[in-house]
Amino acid sequence: DAGVIQSPRHEVTEMGQEVTLRCKPISGHNSLFWYRQTMMRGLELLIYFNNNVPIDDSGMPEDRFSAKMPNASFSTLKIQPSEPRDSAVYFCASSLATGRREKLFFGSGTQLSVL
């Protein structure tokens, strides 16, 4: 299994531009999570899906952020318009939605820099 695949690995953009981060979860996993990591705030959960349905998006910072999961094998996190304070590493993770015991498998993250 290739694991959780995220793209791009690095993204540099200018303030005001739209940014789209992509994630392919592990096949068979039906829970998907988006996290943001910064030095100041650590790892923050932005949103998570069960069976492609958003369950909790209370961590999404503001309306500029949106996430979709059109099918079981693909999810996107979009920032429009982007701001310098959005600079962070964004992680996607997936797990079997069979309860709290299951560990999360993380992708390698996308390093986002907004200039």
Residues that bind another protein (CB under 8 A): 31, 33, 41-43, 45, 48, 50, 55-56, 89, 91, 93, 97, 99-101, 103-104, 106, 108-109, 111
Q: What's the closest the beta carbon of residue 60 comes to another protein, in angstroms?
A: 14
Q: What's the closest the beta carbon of residue 81 comes to another protein, in angstroms?
A: 26
Q: What's the closest the beta carbon of residue 63 comes to another protein, in angstroms?
A: 22
Asked whether the beta carbons of 32 and 25 are under 8 A apart, the reply is: yes
Place of tokens 């059109």: 70
Tokens of 65: 């952020």
Asked whether the beta carbons of 30 and 72 are under 8 A apart, the reply is: yes
Q: Of 4 and 19, which has the nearer Cβ to another protein?
A: 4
Q: Of 81 and 113, which has the nearer Cβ to another protein?
A: 113
106 to 28, 79, 95, 109: CA distances (angstroms): 15, 21, 9, 8
Q: Of 7 and 81, which has the nearer Cβ to another protein?
A: 7
Report H helices in the chain: none
Q: Of 25 and 109, which has the nearer Cβ to another protein?
A: 109
Q: What's the closest the beta carbon of residue 37 comes to another protein, in angstroms?
A: 9
Asked whether the beta carbons of 95 and 67 are under 8 A apart, the reply is: no
